[in-house]
Amino acid sequence: MLRQIIISNFAIIKNLDLDLTSGMTVVTGETGAGKSIVIDALDIALGCRADPQLIRHDAERCEINLVFDITNIPQAQKWLNQQELSSASECIIRRQLLRGGRSKSFINGTPVTLQQLRQLALYLVHIHSQHQHHALMQKDNQREILDRLIDQRTLLADVKQAYLQWQQAKQTLEEFLSLKIDDANRALLEYQVEELNEIAPQEDEWQQLTKQQQQLAHSETLQADLQYCLAVLNDDSQPGLCHQLNSIEQRLVEVQKHFPECTNTLDLIRSANIQLSEAYDEILNLHQAIEANPEALTQIDQRVTLLHSAARKHHVSPENLVFHHQHLQAKLDKYAGCEQQEIDLEQQVSKQWQIYKQLATQLHQARATTAAKISKQITKSIQSLSLPKAQFSIQVDFKETAASQSGMDQVEFLININPGAAMMSMAKVASGGELSRISLAIQVITAQQDDTPTLVFDEVDVGISGATAEIVGKLLRQLGHKSQVLCITHLPQVAAQGQQHIKIFKKNTAKQTISELTTLNREQRIEEIARMVGGIKITQQTLAHAEELLAEA
């Protein structure tokens, strides 16, 4: 349950510290005092996006803290453990809004994302707002309400997964069919592959051929240059560089005997002599490897011409011809067994459809069973709200054409206000006041089935008065036996049913306007309920009426 709400610098709230108890807590106050602002803050703390303009004008940041007792909320404990955010039996949520639009979120002191806040909120709080009846007009929202009641999360997830797998199988088949080629294009592909098979280009062949071609074409010049280098290094007819270095080395050996400081110079000459000898050997090997070979050059020229011509024909560079060949071969191989592949893909689509349809059928049966049961409960609840002849029904139609991630059902809420009339869509039948009562009845019944430990009702009793208001209060108090109920109300009949009563009021000073709250004792409750009954002027009669309402509760 929610034990504490701490708000600072949010809208007209400067500092607010609200301690909550189990059962039903009512929050009252004059219009504009800040009652719904508390719910807005609660919403934002649980992951809703926030406007930085909500920060008080005289502050740089606002902060909202929620303290939950999760001793009896195993789903929340499990989620926190999975996220490594657990903290014994207590869970603290903190949200900060900063000037400039940034925000920070924490669970038990650890920074988290808004998505994580929203996931945790599903196990902690369910907020019913006064505007929710507008959402009830939308069929998707009606289906979502029913799905919360059937308690089949695993089945719903399986239906969604099966639908996505069926769609993926369909997409794979469609992509295959879009790539499927006709006989003429296939014949052209076979001809191109056969032609390149005869040429048989090899990887790195073009680079090697052009290198050999250049070497053979310039073999005579290369040999002459290398022969010159060999002669300079070590020619028999005249002293070469190698011979001269040997002579220098021998003379320096003699010099070293008398001048030891010449040792480094001698080492340099010896090193140069060794490197020069090695260079001579490598040049000699290279000279012997290069030889004029007109026949080999002719063969290479012919191969280069063939590869170049084929590359131009296929609109690729010669070095990429081998990869183009491989691509065409792979494409031909792919289509070689396309007939069987098409059959396999069609069978996969059919298989995934049958799996999805079977799961969607199970979901339909669960929805239909729950819809019949809940329709009776909602009808009874609506009738108790001064619509004694009303009939409510949740219609669940199974249609394959409605296939989606949510199954194959079209869900619609139907209502009949007047006896003898046909059941029709809520949006077509109900007036504003009737719609408020119907919406409230649906919310109360769905809340009774809800596992969420804290239920918040934000002025859901708008448009209701008199005896109906008293019934609404009793329904909400009854919910408080199962869940913690936080109810913002303007009706004295509802306020009287609360086990805890909190009043929010606006305090004006010369410099600022702030919202404050106080927890009312019995005498204060009588005065507040009397104000709600009689307005500005409180008489003994209104006080007596207020005391009577409390006594009856």
Written as tens digits, the pLDDT of the chain (553 aa) is 999 999 999 988 888 888 999 999 999 988 777 788 888 899 999 998 888 888 888 888 999 999 999 998 888 898 999 998 876 788 999 999 998 888 999 999 999 999 999 999 988 988 877 655 566 777 888 898 898 888 788 999 999 999 999 999 999 998 888 776 666 777 888 888 898 888 888 888 888 888 877 766 666 677 667 777 877 777 665 677 878 888 888 888 888 888 888 889 888 988 888 898 888 888 888 777 666 666 776 787 888 888 888 889 889 888 888 898 998 888 787 776 677 788 899 999 999 999 999 999 999 999 999 999 999 999 998 888 888 888 999 999 999 999 999 999 999 999 888 877 788 887 676 566 677 778 778 877 877 776 778 888 887 777 677 778 888 888 888 888 888 999 988 889 999 999 999 998 888 776 777 888 889 999 999 999 998 887 667 888 888 888 888 988 7
The 3-state secondary structure of 238-300 reads CCCHHHHHHHHHHHHHHHHHHCHHHHHHHHHHHHHHHHHHHHHHHHHHHHHHCCCCHHHHHHH
Q: Which residues pair with 126 in a beta bridge?
A: 455
Separation between Cα atoms, residue 342 and residue 458, nearest integer Å: 57
The domain locations on the chain are: 1-124+452-519, 183-336, 521-553
Put residue 416 in one of left, alpha, beta given phi > 0 → left and psi -120 to 50 → alpha: beta
- Under CATH, which number does the domain 1-124+452-519 receive? 3.40.50.300
Separation between Cα atoms, residue 507 and residue 33, nearest integer Å: 9
Residues 6+ apart with CB under 8 A from 512: 14, 58
C-beta separation of 333 from 327 below 8 A: no
Separation between Cα atoms, residue 202 and residue 319, nearest integer Å: 9
Q: Which residues pair with 55 in a beta bridge?
A: 10
Question: pTM of the predicted model, to two decimals?
Answer: 0.61
Axis crossing angle, helix 219-234 with helix 263-289, rounded to the nearest 10: 150
Token reading at 394: 């949740």
Which pLDDT tens digit goes with each residue over 19-71? 999 999 999 988 777 788 888 899 999 998 888 888 888 888 999 999 999 99
Helix (H, G, I), strand (E, B) or coil at 482: coil
The end-to-end CA distance of the chain, in Å, is 23
